[in-house]
Structure 1
């Protein structure tokens, strides 16, 4: 079975997962800007990985806008974010990024990645700085912070990397089944 792994990564966490998946599956691998839909139609399995930004999977529109040409393929999408995996997170990401019809054709996985403020592009740094200020103001006002807000304050100052090669095992098993 011929497999391709396509990814979009801002800070390297998704790229790491994409490289590990491609290695395990002996698949071709490309950054999304280097592929076109005609390339993908020559593969049996298409894996797309993107980092999360406000629950949106970066670059996944490349897959969703071409879903009609990919319906006959084994189609896997994974997203990577700093939040721990939970059924709530997975459902929210799936429903935000894919219509119910698209969900019938896409097997979705969430892989915990990491966060490194220093590797973000300037615009994203600005957005994260504003978010940090908002959370700090909330904290100064003695309002209760949710766990994600507490984690975000820490992540802004201390980069974290939760990637582990074994996190891809479920994806690899699914594709090999």
Structure 2
């Protein structure tokens, strides 16, 4: 089976996971901006990785808008984010990004990445600064919100190679 890994990464966490997955599966790897449907038609398995932007998966429309042309392939999508992996978060991301019909063809995984404010582009820094101000105004913060505030000054990296094990197992099944 020929496998391709496609990714869109803003701060490097998704890229790191994509490289590990491609290495484990001896797959080809492409940055999303360099991929066309013509390229991926030659693969049996398509793996797409994108970082979370609120609950939207960065760049996943490439997969969802072309789902009818990909149905004959094994399709895996993974998202990376700084939040701990919790079932309710995973379900929210899955249901926000994929219709029930698309979910029949796409196997979704969440991989905990990290957060590095310094690596964001100016627009994303602006949005994250707004979020920071909003969080600071709250009377009570959740543990996730406290962690988010702390990570503005101290970047966090939760990537671990073992986090890809479920994807590797699924693709090889």
TM bracket, shorter-chain basis: over 0.9
Distance in 1, Cα, partners of 2:164 & 2:16: 10
Unaligned 5+ segments in structure 1 are: none
Matches of 1:27 and 1:88 in 2, distance apart?
Answer: 31
Map of 2:113 onto structure 1: 113
- 1:135 matches 2:135: yes
Residue matched to 2:53: 53
Q: 1:68-103: CA deviations, max 9, x gaps? A: 000000000000000000111110000000000000
Q: Structure 1 residue 126 and structure 2 residue 137: aligned?
A: no
Counterpart for residue 66 of structure 1: 66
- TM-score, normalisation: structure 1: 0.96
CA distance in 1, matches of 2:86, 2:61: 24
Describe the superposition over 1:122-172 as per-residue Cα deviations: whole angstroms up to 9, x where unpaired: 10000001111111122xxxx111222111101111100000011001000
Alignment correspondent of 1:81? 81
147-156 vs 62-71, greater mean Cα deviation: 147-156
In structure 1, C-alpha distance between the alignment counterparts of 2:137 and 2:86, rounded to whole Å:
28
Structure 1 Cα separation of the partners of residues 54 and 65 of structure 2: 20
Could you list the runs of 5+ residues in structure 2 that have no partner in the other structure? none
**Over aligned residue pairs, what C-alpha RMSD do you find?**
0.6
Instruction: Give 1:47 shift.
Output: 0.1
Q: Tell me the TM-score normalised to structure 2 length.
A: 0.99
Are 2:28 and 1:32 equivalent residues in the alignment?
no
User: 1:108 and 1:176 mapped to 2: Cα distance?
Assistant: 15
